[in-house]
Amino acid sequence: MQQKIVITGGPGTGKSTVIEELAKRQFMCMHEISREVTLNARKKGIEQLFLTQPLLFSELLLEGRVNQYIEAEKKDYDIVFFDRGIPDVHAYMNYICIDYPDSYIKKSKLYKYTHIFLMPPWEEIYISDSERYENFEQALAIHNHLERTYKELGYRIIEVPKGSINERTDFILANIK
């Protein structure tokens, strides 16, 4: 049975860097798609889709993450890593206090992951940019919403300790064996 492993956490916690390291080590990785959704909206003249139309943004994100999950199942890999999972979508909606359809929870319950690794907030590496507009305090709040969302879905969360990219990647690999 294929292991589907989510690496999640608030913005700027090193998720994508660890995913890149896992890819370098020849693991199958599904990369974060929120920047792609944001950049596609910018091409259509919408500067910050998440801020201006959060429900549309989340629907596009949910669809993309479900498609990643389905695509992963078609791959001949024993282990697939995901830079964020389907539940991240409604965790963010809870963070901004926006109502969303029940289908978000249903999809999170339908498409299950094997392991959830949570990257803790880490102020020393936190950087804002044109797609990451949250400040560090907001990143802390998002972290709490992510943790609560995954726990409510019955997942056991493994927090990844701070450290070098190799240490964090090795920790994740040691905990899926």
Kindly report the pTM of this predicted structure.
0.89
- pLDDT tens-digit profile of 4-24? 999 999 887 889 899 999 999
- pLDDT tens-digit profile of 64-97? 999 999 999 999 999 999 999 999 999 999 998 8
The domain ranges of the chain are 3-174
The CATH code of domain 3-174 reads 3.40.50.300
Q: Are 136 and 121 in contact (CB under 8 A)?
A: yes
User: What are 17-22's contacts with CB under 8 Å, separation 24+?
Assistant: 17/165, 18/119, 18/160, 18/165, 18/168, 18/169, 18/172, 19/81, 19/83, 21/165, 21/166, 21/169, 22/81, 22/169, 22/172
Mean pLDDT value across the chain:
89
